[in-house]
Amino acid sequence: MTPDEYCQDKAAKSGSSFYYSFRFLPELQRQAIIALYAFCREVDDTVDEISDAGVARTKLEWWREEIQRTFKGEATHPVGKALHTALQSFDLHEEYFMEIIDGMAMDLDQFSYAEFKQLALYCHRAASVVGLLSVEIFGYQERNTLKYAENLGMALQLTNIIRDVREDAERGRIYLPLDELKQFNVSTDDLLALKSSPELIEFLKFQTTRAKQYYRKAMEVLPEADRYTQRTGLIMADIYEATLDEIINDNFQVMKHRVSLTPIRKLWIAWRTARSEKRRHRKLTKT
């Protein structure tokens, strides 16, 4: 199995919405973004699948060293080798990969966040930095596109947090600001016991409003000149926001079941958004 085949297999098996958005990219960009995604999966799985925190921390340190080797052209892991190929074509910053690892390391030391400012740092490292790397792969002309990536990363991660409240609680983690939980009279003990309540539903409505604000901010700052090159991110935004809308329509019953879109619906949203952005781009280039 080649490094690229390894990354492709890693991405396909994850079942993530990201995989559907990659289908509409040219080959060079698709190779790079799948390598980036495979890296994110490797370090995320290190935290989620290794029960011994000491072992997980050691593995994350190994990945720091592997990224250093990758940027020197000495990668040993298939993902590192695939990333090295991507580095030949795209300006991907080493410190961003380290920040992603920093985000995963936070999961080993923190199981809750006192306030949104702390949670926002986690979201930045776990998602917005991935967005900044993705922007470099997709290409951009205006620096405001970086602000778009920051805001979209926040929106996507907050959507994940809302969707995965039960799954995270089962792992003893609460990715919700504790001070805000208190304001809504939501007990952390109840969360960890997987109990729903009217207070939790009202709290999740508040968090959903915040996520929606980040989606809106992202679209407001994205320059028209860069929309088409960033269409993969726009596909992701549409898939994730559709998931958030499903949660809303389900009256936030996230403690009872995990809300997700079917593969067919994800593919349809991806196709619809790609087609819409292509039409928009054609109109722009004709004027």
pLDDT in tens, 239-275: 999 999 999 999 999 999 999 999 899 989 999 999 9
User: To which residue do tokens 């190929």 refer?
Assistant: 85
pLDDT value at residue 17: 67
All structural domains of the chain: 1-109 (1.10.600.10), 111-287 (1.10.600.10)
The tokens describing 68, both together, are: 């250093």
Q: Summarize the confidence of residues 126-145 as an average pLDDT.
A: 95
- Whether the CB-CB separation of 4 and 215 falls below 8 Å is answered with no
Q: Summarize the confidence of residues 82-91 as an average pLDDT.
A: 95
User: To which residue do tokens 């490094």 refer?
Assistant: 3
pLDDT value at residue 202: 97
Minimum mean pLDDT range among 47-51, 130-134, 191-195:
47-51
pLDDT value at residue 16: 66
* pTM over cut 0.75: yes
Residue 86 three-state SS: helix
Give me the DSSP letters along 150-180.
HHHHHHHHHHHHHHTHHHHHHTT-EEEEHHH
- Whether the CB-CB separation of 32 and 137 falls below 8 Å is answered with yes
